[in-house]
Amino acid sequence: MKQLLNTLFVTTQGAYLAKNGDTVEILHEQQTKLRVPIHTLGSIVCFGNVACSPFLMGLCAEHNVPLSFLTENGYFLARVHGPVSGNVLLRKEQYRRSDDLKASSEIARSVVSAKIANSRIVLLRALRDRPQTEGREKIQNALEEMGQNLEDLKRSSDLEEIRGLEGMAANTYFGCFDCLITANKNAFFFSQRSRRPPLDPVNALLSFLYTLLVHDIRSALEGVGLDPAVGFLHRDRPGRPGLALDMMEELRAYLADRLTLSLINRQQVSPEGFQKTESGAVVMDEQTRKTVLVAWQKRKQEEITHPFLQEKIQIGLLPYVQALLMARFLRGDLDGYPPFLWR
Amino acid sequence: MYAEADYLPLSALQHWVFCPRQCGLIHLEQVWDENRLTAEGRILHQRVHEMSDEHRSDISIVRGLRIYSRRLGLIGQADVVEFHRTQAGISLPDAEGLWQPYPVEYKRGSPKMDACDEVQLCAQAICLEEMLGIAVLRGAFFYGRPRRRKEVVLTDELRRKTEESAHQLHEMFRRGRTPGASYEKKCRACSLYNQCLPKTTGGKKNIEHYLQMAYELPREEMIP
């Protein structure tokens, strides 16, 4: 499989990125801090007040290295890319299928099945790792309910119904998410998902990781020539990366939820790393953000056997592989879209 | 006869003969993955095209010549076209006498003489014939390793194959469908292996069967 290239995260405030030959040069207070050859990079993500020269932007575009700007807290601001490229036939097929509710519901059913299946494994693992956990019964009930949702999903071809089942399963899943947190319970607790803004440390972690994940998926989709904005489960809404969000469903639990839990349970993040702002929104301090980024990068290096390809790949390539499979499916090489199923 | 707007790159013809799916991936799907072999080939051709032309008393060497054929609907560049001084040829600007064109295609590797290479050379010759109004019956390959030249006679059979391939290539573009994959030994050396997924897309895998896995919980000992 393709090689997993590094993502360069620039978190130093006031840093300046410039092109120097075929390398990215990172300057801070007029001193060169780092030089990285462009061909070793998979993408560049800038957090907060980080500036780039137009020539560096051109270099990134030329080498298909996505360059994104996020706020310090990881909210997406902007992205730089070169001329629109890729396959117009593929994109038009994507639009046609997206307009076709029956075809859309087939893809939606695939990704929602994978989402529920993978979420169930998060729960199942908790039971395996801590057989004596207090929430045992609650988790077991959730597993059963979500199993029923899956059974119903099998027979469903209506997009609204599929979305309803997804919602039910997500409620059940997050309903026992608090049982999965075992360390620093007084600071890290979970009552419900809050995204805009996250109102507690667990939600802050989840939101930050989801942002990183959606960034990777968007880049992967663009890399294979798909339009990240046009989804099947997520219907068109200006400004929303519908297809990226569709594809996120199958990877959320496996990549982001699990990492959130292990960062908390292994006490790699501590309650002091989170601050509540006046508005009630919870933000992470810089050290915590770095810890999360390092853990994320490390996780991406791990190898797994892809359940459909039956080929060894690094976890960080999952967005790329799924985007590729989506493209191949849309172009008629596969008889359905195979989502990532955690096994 | 093809309209100018429908001209296709000469390189696509070579890809088509090597593997129709590879051709579809590159030219329809716009997929390109450079590996060492493709990078070396690209640099070799760049270098050949950048070298200056040479004019001697009985041979004139022109590099990076832009060529096309209405009949095949192809456009491209010839690495090198040699013009040999003859008794019955064409006249050239800035040179006295009569000349016979002789295409030479550069290859980075060792002589293997694929059908796709021969078709490419033949297509170049057909372009030259059409543009210059003279028969081109021979051409040559120049191989990098070892540095050696090999002449090719452009037979009727090769010409038929070239025409037929050009026609099929246009047909693929018209339909806009990338041909399906079938795994072969040569796949492993293809720079597009990862995008093609020949073992996965070859029509053997069934998605409904795969999706069944979602509905079953793994046994506890199987949980990753």
pLDDT in tens, B134-171: 999 999 998 877 788 889 999 999 999 999 999 999 99
Q: What is the pLDDT of residue B51?
A: 73
Select the residue of B28, B180, B197 nearest A89 (Cβ to Cβ): B28
Average the pLDDT over each of A93-102, A219-228, B47-56, B91-100 and give the range with the smallest value.
Answer: B47-56
pLDDT beyond 90 at A157: no
* CA A288/CA A274 separation, integer angstroms: 8
DSSP chain B: ---GGG-EEHHHHHHHHH-HHHHHHHHTS------HHHHHHHHHHHHHHHSPPEE-SSEEEEEEEEEEETTTTEEEEEEEEEEEEESS-EEETTEEEEEEEEEEEEESS-----HHHHHHHHHHHHHHHHHHTS---EEEEEETTTTEEEEEE--HHHHHHHHHHHHHHHHHHHHT-PPPP---GGGGG-TTHHHH-HHHHTTT--HHHHHHHHHSPPPGGG--
pLDDT per position as a tens digit, A26-51: 999 999 999 999 988 888 989 889 99
Bridge-partner residues for B107, per DSSP? B143
Closest CA to B122 of B178, B188, B70, B72: B72
β pairing state of A16-20 and B8-9: unpaired
Q: From CA B124, how far away is CA B137, in angstroms rounded?
A: 11
For residues A320-335, average pLDDT: 90
When pLDDT is averaged across residues A299-327 and rounded to a whole number, the result is 90
Q: Is A234 helix (H, G, I), strand (E, B) or coil?
A: coil
Given this model, what pLDDT does residue A66 score? 83
Residue range A126-142: mean pLDDT, rounded: 85
Residue that is written with structure tokens 């693929």 in the block: B172
Residue B41: pLDDT band (50, 70, 90) is low
CA distance B140 to B147: 13
Confidence at residue B214, expressed as pLDDT on a 0 to 100 scale: 86
Q: What's the pLDDT band for A155 if we cut at 50, 70, 90?
A: confident
Taking contacts as CB-CB distances below 8 angstroms, the residues of chain A near B205 are 308, 334, 338
Confidence band of A77 (pLDDT split at 50, 70, 90): confident
In tens, the pLDDT along A190-236 reads 777 777 787 888 888 999 999 889 988 998 898 788 999 999 998 87
User: What percent of chain A has pLDDT above 90?
Assistant: 48
Please report the pLDDT score of residue B39 as a whole number.
61
Average pLDDT, chain A: 88
The chain B residues in contact with chain A (CB within 8 A) are 28-31, 33, 176-178, 180-181, 194-195, 197, 200-201, 205-208, 210-211, 213-215, 217-218, 220, 222-224
pTM of the model: 0.79
Is a pLDDT exceeding 70 seen at residue B112?
Answer: no
Report, as an integer, the average pLDDT of A78-101. Answer: 84
Per-residue pLDDT, B140: 93
Interface predicted TM-score of the whole assembly (ipTM), two decimals: 0.73
A331 neighbourhood in chain B, CB within 8 Å: 29, 178
Residues on chain A touching B213 (C-beta within 8 angstroms)? 117, 307, 341, 343
Shortest distance, CA A114 to any CA of chain B (angstroms): 6
What does the pLDDT look like over B163-218, one tens digit per residue?
A: 999 999 999 999 988 898 888 888 888 888 888 888 887 666 688 888 888 888 87
| Residue B14 confidence (pLDDT) above 60 | yes
pLDDT in tens, A243-287: 999 999 999 999 999 999 999 999 898 888 888 787 878 888 888
Instruction: Say what the pLDDT of residue B72 is.
Output: 94
Angle at CA of residue A64, ends A61 and A65, nearest 5°: 85
Q: What is the mean pLDDT of chain B?
A: 85
